[in-house]
Structure 1
């Protein structure tokens, strides 16, 4: 996920959370237990407040323009939400990389499988898994390594950077390839003494 889209997602969630929190606080201030505990300086909504009275409803019924406007606004909101959801789904796993000539592509799964095999060949690596994410112009490899009990993380990362990651960057050139490596250690099984 790019920084821009991550920032937009966080901003949208923050705005939604602020609106929901403000609305919940305003509605909670109507109830007697909450209203009695609030300081006198905090604005509150009266318990006898009427949100929609008969006169206001009658005035709204006289205008025939507002139902289509409300329905259109809700439809636009739903379409924008669907577009945003599809953009989130599209940013996931990469399918193929277009190469220099038109119609020639490299399968992203094949490149990920080759990187996985090269990562497994590194001394000290018990298991490896590679996923390619991002867009064709900017790739991100998520590499998960399970290290053996006696493996040195520094040596593994150094060999991985010089081997599998360098080869993948050369294959993906002129695109950039960022590598996100996650290391875990294989646990020893306790030996039982009989």
Structure 2
């Protein structure tokens, strides 16, 4: 969800800046602007003296400007922290059966899952990442398949072996997984 919001905000911001910059450039190069445009001709300035001092004596102007800039700053800081936030699960809560539980490092489970997935037939390389909550983790697995590998067989082996072993060893009721597969691309070589 956050990735979608991030992309939409970046796209809209980029589009607005591109349109404004292109319109200002077109007027600067001599195009005739429409009547509602902020510039009248190529020699017009962005803000003249009358426009800059228009609201200077109004008591509501500066508090409104400061409030709008503060809101924009808070939104920009929220966006920055959302983008920089860690998306990887640090630990997994393992049910030990005695009512206490134990914590398993998320990187350890990721490493074991990736190692077991990489040893499957037809898999060249595997990368895993755990997301979600520590009591209900989710796995994201990326597999790089050999050219001869059957994707259906590789998927079945991954779910039957590696994901089942990880789920059972961590004592999880379920371990949902998003699996992405890609085939190895070999460069053509000249045979003589």
TM over 0.5, shorter chain: yes
Per-residue deviation at 1:119?
Answer: 0.9
Q: 1:142 to 1:90 in 2, by over 3 A?
A: farther
Hey, what does 1:119 align to over in structure 2? 117
Q: What is the CA-CA distance between 1:27 and the residue it aligns to?
A: 1.5
Q: Which has the higher helix share?
A: 1
| Equivalent residue for 1:19, pick from 16, 19, 37 | 16
Change (3 A) 1:70 1:27: same
Residue equivalent to 1:167: 165
Distance, in Å, in 2 between the alignment partners of 1:43 and 1:18 is: 20
Query: 1:112 Cα shift?
Result: 0.7
SS at match of 2:56: helix
Contiguous gaps of at least 5 residues in structure 1: none
Tell me which moved more, 11-20 or 108-117.
Answer: 11-20
Q: Which moved more, 1:87-96 or 1:126-135?
A: 126-135
| Cα drift, residue 111 of structure 1 | 1.0
- RMSD over equivalenced CA pairs, Å: 3.5
Structure 1, 112-121 or 135-144: larger mean CA deviation: 135-144
What is the distance in 1 between the residues matched to 2:7 and 2:179?
21
**Which whole-Å CA distance do the structure 1 matches of 2:29 and 2:74 have between them?**
40
- CA gap of 1:25–1:166, structure 2 versus 1, over 3 A, is same
Normalising by structure 2, what TM-score?
Answer: 0.71
* TM-score (structure 1 length as normaliser): 0.70
Partner of 2:76: 81
After superposition, the C-alpha distances for 1:156-180 in whole angstroms (9 at most, x for unaligned) are 2221121112333454734652222
Gaps of 5+ in 2: none
